[in-house]
Structure 1
Amino acid sequence: MHAIHHTDHTILPHPPHTVWNAIINELNGKTTWWHPHNTHQPGPTPPHHTGGTTHTTIHPNGIGKPGPKLHFTSTTTHITPHHTLTQTHTGHFHGTTTYTLTPHPQPHNTTHTQLTITFTTTPHHWPKLLHHLTNLTTKHTTATQHALTNLHHHLTTTNNHQ
C-alpha cells in the first residue's frame, strides 16, 4: 500500500505544447519554477525519452536553508508528447509520478491546458519515519501548489518576452 497518493491539478492559459515544454525544461534542470522546494538534474538520457532519468532533490525548508534533503531518481516509463509523461522513482520515495495535459478549448480560438500531476509513492529509509511524524501528503500538496503557481507565472512571463 502506498503511503502517499495524491493528485494536484490546475488549468493554465497556455496550449499543451507550451506547458509540455515547461515541464520538460524543469525536469532537465533548465528552469526553476519548482523552487524553492525541488531541484532537478537530468541523467545521461534526458527525461523526455523513455528510459531517461531525472535526479530530484526535495528541500522541505527551501533551497539553501537548514534541514534534511530527500533524494530520488525518476525514470521515464511512458511518454506521449504534449499529453502524458509517467516516471517511476526510487530513492527516498518509491512509486510513480504522472503528468497529464488535457486541452481545454476556449472562445476566440485559444486553448488552455489542464495539468494533472498524480503522485503515488511510499517513503523509504528515514523519510518513512518522517511520514509517521508529519503529514507528508499535506507538505507535498502545498509544495506542488506553490510550484504550479510559479509555473503559471513562468509561462506568462516567458510568453510576454517572446
Structure 2
Amino acid sequence: MNGYDIIDEAVVDAPTDVVWNALVAEFRGAAAWWVPHNTFETVTGAPDVVGGEVAVTVHTKGVDNGGLKLRFTARTRSVEPGRRLSVEYVDGVFRGPSDFILEPLDDGRRTRVSMHFRGRPHGKLKLISKVADIGAEHSKATLAAFAALDKRLAKGVRAR
C-alpha cells in the first residue's frame, strides 16, 4: 500500500470557535480529548501558525499501557482560523498532508469537524502496514477522539 486517503467526521455540539480553540489547545499539548490514543507536543512555533511543528505520538495500547509508540512530526502549512488547519507530516512514521476542517451547522450552534488524512507509512510503520489495517485503526482513534471532544464540550468544558 502506498498510503491512506481517509476522511473521518463527526458533529460536535458546540460552536465552531469553541471547537477550534479545543483543537488548537489539543495540538499544544492539552491532552484533553485525543487521549488515550494520541498525544501532542509543540516542537517549534505554534500549531495554528504556518511553520509551527507538533510532535505526535500514537499510543497503540493507550497512554501508559505499554505497547508500540508511533511518532511523527506535523508542520502547519496553512491556517484559516476557525475553519481549517492544514499540516504536512514531515518526519517519523508518516509523510504527507492532512486537513482539519470545521463547518458551522444549525446557525452556528453545532460544528461538523473532519480530518482528511492522506499520510503514507514510513520506516517501521511501512512494514507494520503490510500486516495491520492502519487505516481502520486511524479512523477508529480519530472518531473516538471526536466523540470525546463532543462529550467534553457538551458538558461545557472549554479548552485550556
**One fold, TM greater than 0.5?**
yes
- Counterpart residue number, 1:97: 98
Q: Which has the higher helix share?
A: 1
Aligned-partner Cα distance in 2 for 1:154–1:96:
27
- Counterpart residue number, 2:48: 48
Cα deviation, residue 104, structure 1 = 1.0
So what's the TM-score if we normalise by structure 2?
A: 0.93
Q: Which runs of 5+ in 2 are unaligned?
A: none
In the TM superposition, structure 1's runs of 4+ consecutive aligned residues that sit over 6 Å from their partners are: none
Aligned-partner Cα distance in 1 for 2:124–2:98:
21
Q: Percent of pairs identical after alignment?
A: 29
So what's the TM-score if we normalise by structure 1?
A: 0.91
Aligned-partner Cα distance in 2 for 1:159–1:139:
27
Deviation digits for residues 122-154 of structure 1, max 9, x if unmatched? 101111011110100011111111101110112
- Counterpart residue number, 1:142: 140
RMSD of aligned Cα (Å): 1.5
Q: Which runs of 5+ in 1 are unaligned?
A: none
1:77 and 2:77 aligned: yes
Higher relative contact order (CA 8 A, sep 6+): 2
Q: Secondary structure of 1:47's match?
A: coil
Deviation digits for residues 64-113 of structure 1, max 9, x if unmatched? 1122111011010000000000000121100111011111124xxx5211
Contact persistence 1:2–1:121 (CA under 8 A): no
1:127 and 2:128 aligned: no
